[in-house]
Structure 1
Amino acid sequence: MTGLVAELVKCNGPDTATELAIASARQHFTILHSVAQVINIPVDELLAALEPKHLENTKYNG
């Protein structure tokens, strides 16, 4: 993956890495938002629960 990003930056400039990071973050947030909706909890609670020490405190409201 690192090689791919390095090649993209080499061919398209340094802004490519930034755009890739933003696109990836958007995709991950969209997935997390969808999961939060399915299990019926606010996305901020899901994000907090993703901290390993908090996982055991997560309640499924489905």
Structure 2
Amino acid sequence: MTAYKNELLIAQAIDLFKTSNLNVAEVSSTLGFSNPYSFSKVFKRVTGVAPSVYINELYRNP
């Protein structure tokens, strides 16, 4: 159940990164993570890349 919940949260995070100008800390807080470090660990576990790498790729290849 936790893995599924994490996948849903990361899908929401990806949507926020694509549709807003929120940074990693703001997205982390919006989704209810205790801190950006915890969010980053889960994001990397689910996607295979750190949030900052994902954001850089997103803006490089719109």
With normalisation by structure 1, the TM-score equals 0.35
* Structure number, greater radius of gyration: 1
With normalisation by structure 2, the TM-score equals 0.35
